[in-house]
């Protein structure tokens, strides 16, 4: 529990995994006096009310953002511009608008024109998540020891950035600032292209009729099982990610294709030394991730549900 709330009122627009986790983490740490929530779907709003998600679940966007000191856009990146335009007339002077999208350059281009004078826009991206989605998927520990990248435009009020940083740190996150184009390239390497590869591998298994569906399910070893976990992620979100971070994803996908061709050649020619050297180098990257505290060596093929 913090000594005093960072914000008086926080409005969560979109009530999926990230927003619901933000509410539970905010409530646990006392980071806001009131958290309002809004989702376009009436069914989602009713689910949120049933599980006690947010102090108030609103039926209109206007009601949710009214008097909010922080507004969080937790909707697919493809609709952020439209949502920003719709809520702009109701934003409180001096409020901060942020987002949790996996793409930053396109979000900045889409949202910035709709931010009123006197309202601060500080784009953000928490590097945390699971393959689950929806209001019931969130839990308070999601952001602990995970990075949140803030991508403020050059003219952004430093006090607004510092306040948002305190908020994310209060939820347990590690915070850094980053240039939007560099962010999109980094995420193309660490998230976007791996997801695309996972979707492709699962699709290949589905198309390979010499391996039956029952065999794919019954004999899934850890590698394919991890692919299916990633490929189970929200399809709307990932469709928008690839369409809005097209250039960076295609660049990294091209590099991946070159590496794949090199491995194909090594396998075809029986070049064991090249394969061993390559796998040794990539294994070191895994050790670096563990040493940085971003994963553990403990197996988690059957994940334990984390309490809110």
User: Is the pLDDT score of 288 beyond 60?
Assistant: yes
What does pLDDT average to over the chain? 88
Domain at 7-178: CATH code: 3.40.50.720
**CATH class of the 182-291 domain in this structure:** mainly alpha
User: Is the pLDDT score of 224 beyond 90?
Assistant: no
Domain spans of the chain, in order of start: 7-178, 182-291
Q: Which residue has the higher pLDDT, 188 or 62?
A: 62
User: Is the pLDDT score of 181 beyond 80?
Assistant: yes
User: Is the pLDDT score of 225 beyond 50?
Assistant: yes
pLDDT, residue 304, reads 46
Quick one: three-class SS letters along the chain?
Answer: CCCCCCEEEEEEECCCHHHHHHHHHHHHHCCEEEEEEECCCHHHHHHHHHHCCCCEECCCHHHHHCCCCEEEECCCHHHHHHHHHHHHHHCCCCCEEEECCCCCHHHHHHHHHHCCCCCEECCEEECCCCCCCCHHHCCCCCCCCCEEEECCCCCCCHHHHHHHHHHHHHCCCEEEECCHHHHHHHHHHHHHHHHHHHHHHHHHHHHCCCCCHHHHHHCCCHHHHHHHHHHCCCHHHHHHHHHHCHHHHHHHHHHHHHHHHHHHHHHHHCCHHHHHHHHHHHHHHHHHHHHCCCCCCCCCCCCCCCCC
pLDDT, residue 217, reads 59
pTM for this predicted structure: 0.79
When mean pLDDT is compared across 6-10, 82-86, 196-200, 275-279, the lowest value belongs to 196-200
User: Is the pLDDT score of 177 beyond 70?
Assistant: yes
pLDDT, residue 270, reads 93
When mean pLDDT is compared across 41-55, 139-153, 211-225, 233-247, the lowest value belongs to 211-225
pLDDT, residue 295, reads 65
């Amino acid at each position: 529990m913090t000594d005093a709330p960072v914000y008086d009122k926080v409005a969560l627009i979109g009530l999926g995994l990230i927003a619901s986790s933000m509410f539970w983490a905010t409530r646990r740490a006392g980071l806001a006096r009131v958290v309002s929530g809004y989702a376009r779907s009436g069914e989602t709003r009713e689910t949120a009310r049933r599980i006690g998600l947010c102090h108030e679940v609103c039926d209109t966007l206007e009601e949710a953002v009214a008097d909010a000191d922080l507004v969080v856009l937790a909707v697919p990146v493809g609709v952020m511009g439209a949502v920003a335009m719709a809520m702009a007339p109701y934003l409180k002077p001096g409020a901060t608008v942020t987002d949790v999208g996996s793409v930053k350059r396109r979000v900045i281009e889409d949202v910035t024109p709709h931010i009123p004078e006197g309202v601060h826009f500080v784009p953000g991206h928490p590097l945390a998540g699971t393959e689950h989605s929806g209001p019931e998927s969130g839990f308070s520990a999601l952001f602990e020891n995970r990075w949140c990248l803030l991508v403020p435009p050059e003219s952004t009020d430093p006090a607004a950035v510092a306040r948002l940083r305190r908020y994310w740190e209060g939820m347990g996150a590690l915070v850094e600032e980053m240039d939007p184009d560099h962010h999109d390239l980094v995420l193309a390497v660490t998230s976007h292209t791996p997801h695309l590869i996972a979707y492709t591998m699962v699709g290949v298994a589905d198309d390979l009729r010499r391996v039956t569906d029952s065999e794919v399910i019954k004999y899934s070893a850890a590698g394919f099982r991890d692919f299916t976990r990633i490929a189970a992620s929200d399809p709307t979100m990932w469709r928008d990610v690839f369409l809005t971070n097209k250039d960076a994803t295609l660049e990294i996908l091209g590099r991946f294709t070159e590496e794949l061709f090199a491995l194909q050649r090594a396998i075809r020619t029986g070049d064991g030394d090249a394969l061993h050297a390559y796998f040794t180098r990539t294994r070191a990257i895994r050790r670096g991730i563990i040493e940085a505290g971003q994963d553990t060596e403990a197996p988690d093929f059957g994940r334990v549900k984390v309490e809110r």
